[in-house]
Protein backbone atom coordinates (compact mmCIF):
# COMPACT_ATOMS: atom_id res chain seq x y z
CA UNK A 1 0.00 0.00 0.00
CA UNK A 2 1.37 3.43 -0.99
CA UNK A 3 1.44 5.99 1.81
CA UNK A 4 1.94 9.74 1.56
CA UNK A 5 5.54 9.25 2.72
CA UNK A 6 6.30 6.62 0.11
CA UNK A 7 4.98 9.06 -2.51
CA UNK A 8 7.27 11.78 -1.19
CA UNK A 9 4.51 14.09 0.00
CA UNK A 10 5.30 16.42 2.90
CA UNK A 11 2.52 15.22 5.24
CA UNK A 12 3.30 14.68 8.94
CA UNK A 13 3.05 11.03 9.88
CA UNK A 14 0.71 10.41 12.77
CA UNK A 15 1.36 8.07 15.66
CA UNK A 16 -1.05 5.89 17.57
CA UNK A 17 -0.78 4.25 20.99
CA UNK A 18 -2.62 0.93 21.39
CA UNK A 19 -3.02 -0.92 24.68
CA UNK A 20 -3.59 -4.66 24.68
CA UNK A 21 -1.55 -4.81 21.46
CA UNK A 22 0.01 -8.25 21.93
CA UNK A 23 -3.03 -10.19 20.68
CA UNK A 24 -6.58 -10.01 19.37
CA UNK A 25 -7.95 -6.75 18.05
CA UNK A 26 -4.96 -4.77 19.29
CA UNK A 27 -2.47 -6.85 17.33
CA UNK A 28 -4.51 -6.80 14.14
CA UNK A 29 -5.18 -3.07 14.39
CA UNK A 30 -1.45 -2.45 14.86
CA UNK A 31 -0.66 -4.27 11.60
CA UNK A 32 -3.40 -2.49 9.70
CA UNK A 33 -2.45 0.94 11.02
CA UNK A 34 1.16 0.18 10.00
CA UNK A 35 -0.08 -0.56 6.48
CA UNK A 36 -1.58 2.94 6.51
CA UNK A 37 1.71 4.55 7.51
CA UNK A 38 1.17 5.26 11.21
CA UNK A 39 4.03 5.22 13.70
CA UNK A 40 3.13 2.93 16.59
CA UNK A 41 3.35 2.77 20.36
CA UNK A 42 2.40 -0.78 21.33
CA UNK A 43 1.62 -1.65 24.94
CA UNK A 44 0.85 -4.96 26.63
CA UNK A 45 1.97 -7.23 29.46
CA UNK A 46 3.46 -9.85 27.14
CA UNK A 47 6.63 -8.22 25.85
CA UNK A 48 7.80 -11.22 23.83
CA UNK A 49 4.68 -11.01 21.66
CA UNK A 50 5.20 -7.28 21.26
CA UNK A 51 8.81 -7.83 20.18
CA UNK A 52 7.64 -10.32 17.56
CA UNK A 53 4.93 -7.96 16.35
CA UNK A 54 7.40 -5.08 16.10
CA UNK A 55 9.78 -7.15 13.98
CA UNK A 56 6.95 -8.29 11.70
CA UNK A 57 5.86 -4.70 11.15
CA UNK A 58 9.36 -3.31 10.59
CA UNK A 59 10.18 -6.10 8.14
CA UNK A 60 7.39 -4.80 5.92
CA UNK A 61 7.52 -1.11 6.86
CA UNK A 62 11.12 -0.25 7.72
CA UNK A 63 10.42 3.49 7.54
CA UNK A 64 8.06 3.42 10.53
CA UNK A 65 8.92 4.17 14.13
CA UNK A 66 7.65 1.47 16.47
CA UNK A 67 8.08 1.60 20.25
CA UNK A 68 6.93 -1.13 22.62
CA UNK A 69 6.17 -0.93 26.34
CA UNK A 70 5.54 -3.58 28.96
CA UNK A 71 2.30 -2.35 30.49
CA UNK A 72 -0.16 -3.82 32.95
CA UNK A 73 -3.09 -1.41 32.68
CA UNK A 74 -4.11 -2.28 36.25
CA UNK A 75 -0.90 -0.62 37.42
CA UNK A 76 -2.25 2.91 37.12
CA UNK A 77 1.02 4.66 37.93
CA UNK A 78 2.63 2.68 35.13
CA UNK A 79 -0.11 3.76 32.71
CA UNK A 80 0.64 7.43 33.36
CA UNK A 81 4.40 6.84 33.15
CA UNK A 82 4.22 4.91 29.86
CA UNK A 83 1.92 7.44 28.18
CA UNK A 84 4.15 10.32 29.29
CA UNK A 85 7.30 8.58 28.07
CA UNK A 86 5.69 7.86 24.70
CA UNK A 87 4.75 11.53 24.42
CA UNK A 88 8.36 12.50 25.12
CA UNK A 89 9.80 10.08 22.57
CA UNK A 90 7.37 11.06 19.81
CA UNK A 91 7.08 14.78 20.75
CA UNK A 92 3.31 14.46 20.31
CA UNK A 93 0.72 11.78 20.94
CA UNK A 94 -1.88 11.82 18.16
CA UNK A 95 -4.22 8.91 18.87
CA UNK A 96 -4.75 6.58 21.84
CA UNK A 97 -6.83 3.41 21.61
CA UNK A 98 -8.03 2.17 25.00
CA UNK A 99 -8.27 -1.45 23.95
CA UNK A 100 -6.91 -3.66 26.74
CA UNK A 101 -9.62 -5.76 28.36
CA UNK A 102 -10.67 -9.22 29.52
CA UNK A 103 -13.84 -11.31 29.58
CA UNK A 104 -13.66 -13.40 32.72
CA UNK A 105 -16.61 -13.98 35.02
CA UNK A 106 -19.91 -15.73 35.66
CA UNK A 107 -23.37 -15.10 37.05
CA UNK A 108 -23.25 -13.32 40.38
CA UNK A 109 -23.72 -15.35 43.54
CA UNK A 110 -21.99 -18.46 42.18
CA UNK A 111 -18.61 -17.96 43.81
CA UNK A 112 -16.80 -16.13 41.02
CA UNK A 113 -16.41 -12.73 42.63
CA UNK A 114 -12.66 -12.52 41.97
CA UNK A 115 -13.11 -13.18 38.25
CA UNK A 116 -15.94 -10.65 38.08
CA UNK A 117 -13.91 -8.11 40.06
CA UNK A 118 -10.91 -8.57 37.78
CA UNK A 119 -13.08 -7.93 34.73
CA UNK A 120 -14.60 -4.82 36.29
CA UNK A 121 -11.18 -3.55 37.36
CA UNK A 122 -9.48 -4.17 34.02
CA UNK A 123 -12.29 -3.14 31.70
CA UNK A 124 -13.39 -0.01 33.50
CA UNK A 125 -11.09 1.29 36.24
CA UNK A 126 -7.97 0.61 34.16
CA UNK A 127 -9.69 2.14 31.13
CA UNK A 128 -10.44 5.21 33.24
CA UNK A 129 -6.73 5.50 34.05
CA UNK A 130 -5.85 5.26 30.35
CA UNK A 131 -8.41 7.91 29.41
CA UNK A 132 -7.16 10.18 32.19
CA UNK A 133 -3.52 9.80 31.10
CA UNK A 134 -4.38 10.39 27.44
CA UNK A 135 -6.54 13.45 28.13
CA UNK A 136 -3.84 15.06 30.28
CA UNK A 137 -1.53 14.89 27.27
CA UNK A 138 -4.18 15.92 24.75
CA UNK A 139 -5.20 18.95 26.80
CA UNK A 140 -1.59 20.04 27.25
CA UNK A 141 -0.72 19.73 23.55
CA UNK A 142 -4.20 20.99 22.50
CA UNK A 143 -5.00 18.14 20.13
CA UNK A 144 -5.51 14.40 20.07
CA UNK A 145 -7.96 11.61 19.34
CA UNK A 146 -9.17 9.27 22.10
CA UNK A 147 -10.68 5.97 21.02
CA UNK A 148 -12.34 3.55 23.44
CA UNK A 149 -13.38 -0.01 22.66
CA UNK A 150 -16.80 -0.81 24.05
CA UNK A 151 -19.09 -3.55 22.68
CA UNK A 152 -22.54 -4.13 21.20
CA UNK A 153 -23.23 -5.82 24.55
CA UNK A 154 -23.14 -2.34 26.11
CA UNK A 155 -26.72 -1.82 24.93
CA UNK A 156 -28.40 -4.17 27.43
CA UNK A 157 -27.70 -6.38 30.41
CA UNK A 158 -26.45 -9.87 29.56
CA UNK A 159 -26.56 -13.12 31.51
CA UNK A 160 -23.91 -15.49 32.80
CA UNK A 161 -20.30 -14.86 31.86
CA UNK A 162 -21.34 -11.68 30.01
CA UNK A 163 -23.02 -10.13 33.07
CA UNK A 164 -20.15 -8.01 34.37
CA UNK A 165 -18.48 -7.72 30.96
CA UNK A 166 -21.55 -6.04 29.44
CA UNK A 167 -21.82 -3.73 32.44
CA UNK A 168 -18.23 -2.57 32.00
CA UNK A 169 -18.78 -1.92 28.31
CA UNK A 170 -21.87 0.15 29.09
CA UNK A 171 -19.78 2.10 31.58
CA UNK A 172 -17.08 2.70 28.97
CA UNK A 173 -19.66 3.99 26.50
CA UNK A 174 -21.08 6.38 29.10
CA UNK A 175 -17.63 7.57 30.16
CA UNK A 176 -16.63 8.18 26.54
CA UNK A 177 -19.73 10.22 25.83
CA UNK A 178 -19.10 12.28 28.96
CA UNK A 179 -15.54 12.96 27.81
CA UNK A 180 -16.83 13.96 24.39
CA UNK A 181 -19.21 16.47 26.00
CA UNK A 182 -16.41 17.75 28.23
CA UNK A 183 -14.07 18.52 25.32
CA UNK A 184 -16.74 19.77 22.94
CA UNK A 185 -15.45 22.64 20.78
CA UNK A 186 -11.85 21.74 21.63
CA UNK A 187 -9.42 20.23 19.07
CA UNK A 188 -9.76 16.81 20.75
CA UNK A 189 -11.73 14.06 19.02
CA UNK A 190 -13.43 11.24 20.93
CA UNK A 191 -14.65 7.97 19.41
CA UNK A 192 -16.39 4.99 21.00
CA UNK A 193 -16.27 1.74 19.01
CA UNK A 194 -18.85 -0.99 19.63
CA UNK A 195 -17.64 -4.19 17.96
CA UNK A 196 -19.96 -7.10 17.33
CA UNK A 197 -18.61 -10.64 17.28
CA UNK A 198 -15.05 -10.67 15.93
CA UNK A 199 -13.02 -13.86 15.88
CA UNK A 200 -9.90 -13.76 18.07
CA UNK A 201 -8.06 -16.35 20.14
CA UNK A 202 -10.52 -15.92 23.02
CA UNK A 203 -13.60 -16.61 20.87
CA UNK A 204 -15.66 -19.64 21.86
CA UNK A 205 -14.79 -22.20 19.18
CA UNK A 206 -17.58 -24.60 20.23
CA UNK A 207 -20.58 -22.28 20.54
CA UNK A 208 -19.76 -20.01 17.61
CA UNK A 209 -21.69 -16.72 17.96
CA UNK A 210 -23.85 -15.39 15.10
CA UNK A 211 -22.64 -12.91 12.48
CA UNK A 212 -19.01 -13.43 13.51
CA UNK A 213 -16.31 -12.04 11.21
CA UNK A 214 -12.57 -12.64 11.12
CA UNK A 215 -10.23 -10.23 12.90
CA UNK A 216 -8.97 -8.65 9.68
CA UNK A 217 -12.50 -7.77 8.52
CA UNK A 218 -13.53 -6.54 11.95
CA UNK A 219 -10.47 -4.35 12.39
CA UNK A 220 -10.83 -2.82 8.94
CA UNK A 221 -14.30 -1.67 9.99
CA UNK A 222 -12.94 -0.35 13.30
CA UNK A 223 -10.13 1.59 11.61
CA UNK A 224 -12.49 3.04 9.01
CA UNK A 225 -14.65 4.46 11.82
CA UNK A 226 -11.59 5.77 13.67
CA UNK A 227 -10.20 7.53 10.62
CA UNK A 228 -13.59 9.15 9.98
CA UNK A 229 -13.48 10.31 13.62
CA UNK A 230 -16.99 9.07 14.23
CA UNK A 231 -18.41 9.77 17.67
CA UNK A 232 -19.91 6.29 17.93
CA UNK A 233 -19.66 3.30 15.61
CA UNK A 234 -21.17 -0.19 15.69
CA UNK A 235 -18.95 -2.45 13.60
CA UNK A 236 -19.13 -4.15 11.23
CA UNK A 237 -22.01 -1.89 10.21
CA UNK A 238 -24.10 -4.87 9.08
CA UNK A 239 -25.80 -6.28 11.08
CA UNK A 240 -24.74 -4.51 14.29
CA UNK A 241 -26.05 -1.04 13.44
CA UNK A 242 -29.50 -2.68 13.31
CA UNK A 243 -28.98 -5.18 16.13
CA UNK A 244 -28.24 -2.36 18.57
CA UNK A 245 -31.81 -1.09 18.14
CA UNK A 246 -33.31 -4.58 18.37
CA UNK A 247 -31.47 -5.13 21.64
CA UNK A 248 -33.00 -1.96 23.05
CA UNK A 249 -36.56 -3.24 22.60
CA UNK A 250 -36.03 -6.96 23.11
CA UNK A 251 -37.97 -8.39 26.08
CA UNK A 252 -35.87 -9.79 28.94
CA UNK A 253 -37.24 -13.29 28.19
CA UNK A 254 -35.72 -13.14 24.71
CA UNK A 255 -32.46 -11.68 26.03
CA UNK A 256 -32.17 -14.66 28.34
CA UNK A 257 -32.73 -17.06 25.46
CA UNK A 258 -30.50 -15.53 22.82
CA UNK A 259 -27.65 -13.86 24.71
Residues annotated as catalytic are 165
Alpha-carbon dihedral 18, 134, 224, 12, rounded to 10 degrees: -90
Q: Check residue 175 and report its DSSP letter.
A: H
Within 8 A by CB and 6+ apart from 253, the residues are none
Contact 149, 200 (CB under 8 A): no
Distance of CA 198 to the CA centre of its chain: 13
Phi/psi at 5 (5° precision):
-75, -40
Closest by CA position to 153, among listed 141, 135, 165, 142: 165
Contact 74, 130 (CB under 8 A): no
Residue 203 vs residues 135, 212, 213: alpha-carbon distances, Å: 32, 10, 11
Say how many C-beta atoms besides its own lie within 10 A of residue 103's C-beta. 17
Say how many C-beta atoms besides its own lie within 10 A of residue 84's C-beta. 14
Contact 40, 34 (CB under 8 A): yes
CA dist 182 and 179 (Å) reads 5
Amino acid sequence: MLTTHMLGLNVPRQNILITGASSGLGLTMAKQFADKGYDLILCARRVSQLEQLKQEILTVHSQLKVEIYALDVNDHDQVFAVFADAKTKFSTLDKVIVNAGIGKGASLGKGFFEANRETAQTNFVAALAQCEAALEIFRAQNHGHLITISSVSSQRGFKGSMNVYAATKAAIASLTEGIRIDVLNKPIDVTCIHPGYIDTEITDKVNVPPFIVDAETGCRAIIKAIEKKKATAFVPFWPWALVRYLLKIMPVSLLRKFT
